[in-house]
Amino acid sequence: VDLQRKVEERNRLLAEYKKELCQKDRHLQQHQTKLDEMLRQLSEASYQQVDLERELEHKEALLAHCMKREAEE
């Protein structure tokens, strides 16, 4: 009887641990999804920054060229 009670208690604890593990796994998956989305947004922002820096450099070069031409005239 005592052994049966111990086995039932062990099974109950095991079921609780499995339930907790499943919940933690779901939370981990949710956080991983959020992290993946944030990394995607960061990557996209980085590409936009590079494009804007390139555009700024081009406009600065055009401005310098125009100012040089104006000074020559």
pLDDT tens-digit series, residues 4-58:
999 999 999 999 999 999 999 999 999 999 999 999 999 999 999 999 999 999 9
Evaluate if pTM is beyond 0.85. Answer: no
E strand residue ranges, the chain = none
Spatial separation of the C-alpha atoms in residues 72 and 64, rounded to whole Å: 12
Spatial separation of the C-alpha atoms in residues 22 and 16, rounded to whole Å: 10
Spatial separation of the C-alpha atoms in residues 70 and 73, rounded to whole Å: 5
User: End-to-end CA distance of the chain, in Å?
Assistant: 107
pLDDT value for 30: 98
